Amino acid sequence: MPAELAPLQLHLPPSARGLVTPEKRPLASAVAAPDPRLKKRALSPPDRATPAMAIEPHELKLLKVIGRGTFAQQVALAQHSRSQRMVVVKTLDKRHVIARKQVAHTLTEKNVLQALGGRHPFIVQLYAAFQTDRELNFVLEYCQGGELFFHLQQQNQQKFDEVATRFYAAEVLSALGALHAQGIVYRDLKPENVLLDAQGHVKLADFGFAKENMTDGRRTFSFCGSPEYLSPEMVRKDGHGLETDMWSFGCFVFELLTGAPPFQSSNMHRLFNLIEQGRVWYPPYLSADAVSLLQGLLCVNPQARLSVEDAMRHPFFQSLDWDDVLQRQVAPPFVPVCKSLDCTHNFDDGFTSEPVQSLGDCSQKQAEPVASSNNAETTPYQDLVFAGF
């Protein structure tokens, strides 16, 4: 049976981040009152799903490795022979998924992208999902522009100006709004998980830490995400909700504007103390509106933190029409260099120079040993866990 359309995407290893020591800056004024010009429908994704594309595994020709991840054994560019479409195939070893207790997260990622991938302009699309005896495979939209983090590193002083930051932040905020409207908390926002398509627009990717059914103020107690982007309530382990994404969004905006996250330390205990204290020094070159937005997002009290709607109404975004943002009518700051449909110019050559492994081979070459009574086949328990994947 051909695999029916379904989602997931690149989770490349984070690069080292430079340390910055911005000067102190006086606190700016509080956020502005709600703007009645904010259209409610700007929060809702348009129904733009691509028609289902049946895919047989043998129709996928793997071309180049473009990444590896915490749980992905290989992320490869591939061509679907029948449609000639370039896609990404993300391969996970079932044994690793189970050994690292990522079964629920993996299935949630698939569910989330089936619900929103391809239906929202800034969320990566999943074309198909299928499994072999050893592996889970996700066939995803190929974002030729690569990671936003890659381009951030290419900028002068490794930071964007406020015009470029406003563009990327607005498209990410639109995607977060769609997730939150469906009761989904993302929990892994960072420049590495924000991809650019061939036109330079944002695609939010890697939903392995997402959680569903987070409605009516529900809290969850999982501890997950990237350390520098964790919210104070997650660090304290006293329960978190949708508000945790808005803290991460503040860290994301801060990093785009300054070149580094607001809280940094090589010592994890020290890092978490800094996050809990929530004291931020703002470089003097940031505008009052930028500082005001960041203060509203990087608020230690989650109940006082800006929501998606609050952030959209903030003066920092006043120059944008949110309907234009949602319809991709706002021009990107730059268009990524893409010389051909299979161009990998915007990906780390440390990955693209690696030999690509065929489907079914990825799980046979492990960087680390995995506890398993049978290295060749999955156990009956594993088969049951992933039945119907």
The whole-chain average pLDDT of the chain stands at 83
**140: phi then psi, degrees, rounded to nearest 5:** -125, 165
Same domain, yes or no: 92 and 232 = no
Q: 281, 298, 326: which is the final residue of a domain? A: 326
Residue 71 has pLDDT above 60, yes or no: yes
Confidence of residue 376 (pLDDT cuts 50, 70, 90): very low
Beta bridge partners of 91: 74, 137
Would residue 63 count as lying in a domain?
Answer: yes
| Selected residue with higher pLDDT from 33 and 143 | 143
Specify the pTM.
Answer: 0.82
| Selected residue with higher pLDDT from 40 and 367 | 40
Strand pairing class (126-131; 86-93):
unpaired
Q: What is the average pLDDT across 73-78? A: 93
Same domain, yes or no: 174 and 317 = yes
Same domain, yes or no: 116 and 222 = no
CATH of the domain at 295: 1.10.510.10
Q: Give the span between the Cα atoms of 247 and 244, in whole angstroms.
A: 5
Q: What is the average pLDDT across 303-320? A: 98
pLDDT the model gives residue 117: 82
Q: At what angle do helices 243-258 and 162-181 cross, to 10 degrees?
A: 170
Contact 176/185 with Cβ under 8 angstroms?
no
Would residue 4 count as lying in a domain?
Answer: no
What is the extent of the structural domain holding 135? 57-144+339-385
Same domain, yes or no: 281 and 347 = no
Contact 298/280 with Cβ under 8 angstroms?
yes
Would residue 30 count as lying in a domain?
Answer: no
Confidence of residue 362 (pLDDT cuts 50, 70, 90): low
Question: CA neighbours within 13 Å on the CB side: how many for 315?
Answer: 12
Give, as one character, the DSSP assignment of residue 92: E
Same domain, yes or no: 134 and 163 = no
Percent of the chain with pLDDT over 70: 79
Question: Among 120, 140, 104, 206, which Cα is nearest to 5's?
Answer: 140
**107: phi then psi, degrees, rounded to nearest 5:** -70, -35
| Selected residue with higher pLDDT from 178 and 353 | 178
- State pLDDT tens for residues 246-277: 999 999 999 999 999 999 999 999 999 999 99
Q: Give the span between the Cα atoms of 158 and 258, in whole angstroms.
A: 8
Beta bridge partners of 55: 3
CATH of the domain at 79: 3.30.200.20
Would residue 275 count as lying in a domain?
Answer: yes
Same domain, yes or no: 180 and 307 = yes
Give me the residue label for tokens 């009152």.
33
- State pLDDT tens for residues 1-23: 444 333 333 333 333 333 232 33
Q: Give the span between the Cα atoms of 278 and 272, in whole angstroms.
A: 10
* Count of domains forming the chain: 2
Same domain, yes or no: 105 and 224 = no
- State pLDDT tens for residues 150-207: 999 999 899 999 999 999 999 999 999 999 999 999 999 999 999 999 999 999 999 9
pLDDT the model gives residue 363: 53
Task: Write the Ramachandran bin of 155: left for phi over 0, alpha for psi from -120 to 50, otherwise beta.
Answer: beta
Catalytic residue among 188, 197, 206, 289: 188
Same domain, yes or no: 264 and 366 = no
Q: Give the span between the Cα atoms of 368 and 32, in whole angstroms.
A: 52
Is 188 one of the catalytic residues? yes
- State pLDDT tens for residues 84-114: 999 999 999 999 899 888 898 899 999 998 9
Would residue 52 count as lying in a domain?
Answer: no
Tokens of 68: 């590896």
Q: What is the average pLDDT across 279-304? A: 98
pLDDT the model gives residue 54: 75
Same domain, yes or no: 166 and 300 = yes
pLDDT the model gives residue 126: 95
Confidence of residue 132 (pLDDT cuts 50, 70, 90): confident
